[in-house]
Amino acid sequence: MTRVVVLHVALLVGILGTALCQAQDSGTNRWAEIAANKYTVQPDVVYGVQNNYPLKLDLWTNNSAKSPVPTLIYIHGGGWIYGDRTGTLPFLLPYFERGWNIVNVEYRMAPVSLAPAAVEDCRCALRWVIRNAKRYNLDATRIVVSGHSAGGHLSLTTALLDPSAGLDVECPGDEILKVAVVVNWYGISDVADVLAGPNKKNYAEEWFGSIANRDEIAKKTSPINFVSKNSPPVISIHGDQDDVVPYGNSVRLHKALDAAGVPNELVTIRGGGHGHFSDSETLRAFDRVWAFIDAHLPQAPTASTTPPSGF
């Protein structure tokens, strides 16, 4: 049975360490001002089982919302080969501040299953959210999917892929897999680019391992190949000196979305590497993110919601 725990988010903020607690920037402090807000967290929800491996997510729901509020699906990074959802709380704080529901997703990485397992799992997580929206007071019309690095790539594939990729067979259903907005933090848009050639990366090699149909799978897991006029709005944030995920991936994605007439924005961090942006750069990027979300997220279909107390 899923454990249900009611927590003051402030307790979790406290365990982040002194970096956040002692932050001097007013914006960062503002993110930490969630002490009075109460959420229900349901940890370790099993949203599927693949290869005898339970796929888990953590679900945070805003208890004070009077009607469904926007829902963030967050997907952690790690080059498809390492990392887990337990270290992502700092990335979630801005969404807690806005009183959103949050779904923090785990997926199979290379040591468990090679490509394209991670893509399949995240698509299944999206289906689970849509299928269970009414049960948990989630607004399925206002889902934002986001992630950093490999999580950015998986956010893009979760939102942009269509059934023609053949990667939805692990969790069949009648639900239309659709999100409202994608927030892509320096994610890979062209897997083939990091699998071979001058931009080849070891993490991509490890994700593909010795599978025989590498080129086919790389094509199917590259979100840039699925851009269409029906794609959701996308905002990408990327450092132009990133030596892990080529900045050109976000540039090309931006151009492809422009060509398809899809609302999108590329926020370039000048001199920025693979994340680890300064506080001011991160805050400025989030200002752009919120402006983009506010411009493209559908209005609430029901009466306005009440954010958690304290805001």
Q: Tens-of-pLDDT digits for all 311 residues of the chain?
A: 344 444 444 434 443 333 344 344 444 454 444 434 579 999 999 999 999 999 999 999 998 888 889 999 999 999 999 999 988 989 999 999 999 999 999 999 999 999 999 999 999 999 999 999 999 989 999 999 999 999 999 999 999 999 989 999 999 999 999 999 999 999 999 999 999 999 999 999 999 999 999 999 999 999 999 999 999 999 999 999 999 999 999 999 999 999 999 999 999 999 999 999 999 999 999 999 999 999 999 987 644 444 443 32
3-state secondary structure of 61: strand
* Measured distance CA(128)–CA(177) in Å, rounded: 10
Domains of the chain (ranges; CATH) run 5-296 (3.40.50.1820)
This prediction has a pTM of: 0.88
* Measured distance CA(142)–CA(300) in Å, rounded: 8
* Measured distance CA(150)–CA(155) in Å, rounded: 8
